[in-house]
Amino acid sequence: MEDIKQHLTALMPDILRFAKIQLRDDSLAEDLVQDTLAAAIGKSEQFRAEAGLKTWVIGILKNKITDHFRSRKPTVSIKHLQEENAGIDAAFDGCFDSSGHWTAEAGPQEWRAVPEEAVHQQDFFRALENCMQGLPEDTARIFYLREVMGWDTDEICRDFGISPDNCYVILHRARNGLRQCLQHRWFDLGKPV
């Protein structure tokens, strides 16, 4: 038991960083990480070491975050989202010329790294986390719930009080914002794979 507590204590900074990025509320993140660590200690006999300890604990944390979002039942004003995403729209619109084609400087560039291999790099995940921080809060939250947590679009729409069309627009904006950010912060820098 003491051994698992030491391993969990060593994982705490990474787990806390993950929670802070997803929740954007330091005290809430700390609370959920404490709940996660308590649950991991309480269920330590269920850990089978088939996956790494960190993977297992992150799984518990993801469930805690999902439970938090479900219990909140947030509502998002469409006007607020439109204002929040104006910067992403402006940047995206600036990528095209009057005929709708990519401008030379904004068009997709050849990635110097193979994306499937880059995903496995810890530095890539840090760049992705930083890019997520740059998205508007609700946009990042909706993207995270859909793409990381695997929520259905209907579930997101119900919980946020938005239509499916609005959800798809938000996800589209998030993907474009992340693509532009990752292009600049990761792939344009020629990070090694």
pLDDT in tens, 70-99: 787 656 666 666 676 676 667 667 777 776
pLDDT at 51: 62
Q: What whole-number distance in Å separates Cα of residue 174 and Cα of residue 155?
A: 18
The mean per-residue pLDDT over the stretch 174-184 comes to 87
Instruction: Return mean pLDDT, the chain.
Output: 78
Residue 165 has pLDDT above 90, yes or no: yes
Q: What whole-number distance in Å separates Cα of residue 88 and Cα of residue 92?
A: 6
- H helices of the chain, in order, are 2-23, 26-42, 53-72, 78-84, 86-93, 115-118, 122-134, 137-143, 153-160, 164-182
The mean per-residue pLDDT over the stretch 134-155 comes to 86
Q: Which domains does the chain have, with CATH numbers?
A: 2-72 (1.10.1740.10), 78-187 (1.10.10.10)
Q: Please give the residue that has the higher pLDDT: either 54 or 175.
A: 175
pLDDT in tens, 1-31: 567 788 888 888 888 888 887 888 889 999 9
pLDDT in tens, 41-71: 888 777 776 567 887 888 888 889 888 887 8
Proportion of the chain above pLDDT 90, given as a percent: 12
Q: What angle do CA 127, 70, 129 make, to 5 degrees?
A: 5
pLDDT at 112: 58
pLDDT category, 193, cuts 50, 70, 90? very low
